[in-house]
Amino acid sequence: MATSSPPVTDPAKRAARLVALALLRDVFAARDRLDDPSDDKALHDFRVALRRLRTWLRAFRPVLRDTLRGKTVRRLGGVADATGASRDLEVHIDWVNRARRQLKGEERKGATWLAKRLRGEKATCDAELRRVLDDAFDKRMRRVEKALSRYEARVEGELSYAEVSEEIVGRHLESLASAMGKVSNLGDRAQAHDARIATKRLRYILEIVAPSESDRARAIVALKELQDRLGELHDAQTFGSELASLIAELSAEKVEAATSGPDGTGTAAAQVDPVPGLDALLRKLRQREKESFRLMLPVWHAAASGLHLDM
């Protein structure tokens, strides 16, 4: 993504649309890459490009609303949601495959079982994503493109790009500081997730509007690391919860199978028991969760210092 910021003296309505159209072109380019099965970064890049566009459209809504309807922007969420499950499973499969190398015996067999199960789920999610793209993507994106291609200008009283950008950045800075202020321990899961979203949105805005030699531009590196740490924390927590539920489900099935035979001894054929492997993976995820939280705090302090935020 190399979207440049228009002159700060431009009318905000014009500048916001120029940036949005450039971001829209990034989305189209990333969408085309999804047709290449050998491009293993295509889904991630498409998801990020779409997220950047949606962040910009939401942030600059006050100067876009005269031609861009809120309903049109909200419909982009349907496309974004369809990418979420496939991307999450892609990340989980990669993590399980790496973690499996450190396991042995029954634990390794359980991790192999889980990787196979996740690949099957991903195939289903990929098919749903393809359906959404085929049915809705072009139509929804062209509506956005059409809405961004024009605007209504006033003879006097037009706000400048600099004025609107500064207000938007200030609002996002406040949102991040507020969100991070609510994250004090590992139990603050929803709060940490909100902080991750706030970090991401601020970073995407600053990457375009912050002058290259400013403190805000230099703080983008810390924001990126903060986003990564919060992302690792969120992934470990959500995937860990999913594994815990799966372990409980399989354990209940095992008890039921053991008592289902006429003599109470069970009749199920011998097969791989994935629970030991899932338990081992869950322990790793819990450790990753703690480590991500520990590493996140100094990164937040560095980002806050660079952005001159009160903590």
Q: What is the pLDDT of residue 219?
A: 94
Which pLDDT score is estimated for 266?
A: 46
Q: How confident is the model at residue 268 (pLDDT cuts 50, 70, 90)?
A: very low
pLDDT at 213: 86
Determine the 3-state secondary structure of 260 from DSSP: coil
Percentage of residues of the chain with pLDDT beyond 90: 77
Mean pLDDT on 201-210: 96
Give the phi and the psi of residue 82 in degrees, each rounded to 5: -65, -25
With bands split at pLDDT 50, 70 and 90, how would you rate the model's confidence at 155? confident
Digit-coded pLDDT (tens) for 164-192: 999 999 999 999 999 999 999 999 999 99
Q: Give dist(CA 219, CA 211) in Å, integer.
A: 12
Local confidence band at 267 (pLDDT 50, 70, 90 cut-offs): very low
Query: In angstroms, rounded to a whole number, what is the distance separating the alpha carbons of residues 140 and 72?
Result: 7
28-44 in b/e burial notation, b at 16+ Cβ within 10 A? eebbeebeeeeeeebbe
What percentage of the chain has pLDDT greater than the value 70? 95
Give the range among 113-117, 208-212, 244-248 with minimum mean pLDDT: 208-212
* Residue indicated by tokens 């321990």: 185
Find the Cα–Cα–Cα–Cα dihedral 64, 67, 70, 76, rounded to 10°.
-90
Which pLDDT score is estimated for 202? Answer: 97
Q: Residue 260's pLDDT band (boundaries 50, 70, 90)?
A: low
Q: How confident is the model at residue 3 (pLDDT cuts 50, 70, 90)?
A: confident
* pLDDT per position as a tens digit, 235-248: 999 999 999 999 99
Instruction: Tell me the whole-structure pTM to 2 decimals.
Output: 0.89
The residue with greater pLDDT, 153 or 125, is 125
150 in Cβ contact with 18 (< 8 Å): no
What pLDDT was estimated at residue 156? Answer: 79
Q: Which whole number is the average pLDDT over 107-136? A: 94
The mean pLDDT of 283-296, rounded to a whole number, is: 96
Q: How far apart are CA 11 and CA 17, in angstroms?
A: 10
Tens digits of residue pLDDT in 47-76:
999 999 999 999 999 999 999 998 888 888
Question: Once rounded to an integer, what is the mean pLDDT over residues 299-307?
Answer: 93
